[in-house]
Amino acid sequence: MKIDLQQIKELLGIVSSTDVTELTIEFGDQKITVKKTPAPALTHVEVPVASSMRMSPAPAPVHHEVAPRAAAPAEPPAKADAAPAEDNVSANTVAITSPMVGTFYGAPSPTAPAFVKVNDKISVGQTVCIIEAMKLMNDLPSEVSGKIVKICVESGTTVEYGQTLFLVDPKG
């Protein structure tokens, strides 16, 4: 039996969406091993230097040890009267986060309708987006039922592991 590209893509998708760190499959004289390395504990962070300081020709990047976290997209400052509403929304919602680093796509193609929109009802297992990683398209199924309250990223943007993609009201 020959292993084809589609089978390899499916295998990579299965491994990336589970806690499996290594998988080996053998078919006669063919052998495929898929290994998933854990996320690094160190994150590269560049610290801006004040313009009044003298800089050397090639400043070295500064490294800080930080715990992995969900990165939120930059948002404009909220108005003072809108802050309590935002707190109330986030207190009653469940986040759907990215299981990997990649590019977020809210629809199966640029001309297709979005998988979900704000106020849509979703169910467990329903595809809510696609994360492209290393040229592979990975469907992201919802692990919660409810109503989409907020879509936190724009289609075509890069997302990080653990980054919040959607906020869902499980009572909605």
**21 C-beta neighbours (distance < 10 Å), count:** 11
| Mean per-residue pLDDT, 136-153 | 94
Where in the chain do CATH 2.40.50.100 domains reside?
93-169
Measuring CA to CA, which residue among 96, 141, 102, 150 is closest to residue 123?
Answer: 141
Q: For residues 164 and 89, is the Cβ–Cβ distance under 8 A?
A: no
CATH entry 3.40.50.170 includes domain 93-169: no
The bridge status of strand 164-169 relative to strand 146-151 is antiparallel
In this structure, are residues 165 and 96 in contact, taking their beta carbons and an 8 Å threshold? yes
Tens digits of residue pLDDT in 91-143? 789 999 999 999 999 999 999 999 999 999 999 999 999 999 998 999 999 99
Structure confidence at residue 82 (pLDDT): 44
pLDDT at 32: 73
With left for phi above 0 and alpha for psi between -120 and 50, is residue 166 left, alpha or beta? beta
Q: What pLDDT digit, counting tens, does each position of 14-44 carry? A: 777 776 677 777 767 777 777 766 555 555 5
Q: Are 167 and 120 in contact (CB under 8 A)?
A: no
Residue 164's CB is within 10 A of a number of other CB atoms, namely 19
What letter represents residue 160's amino acid? Answer: E
Q: Is the pTM of this model over 0.95?
A: no
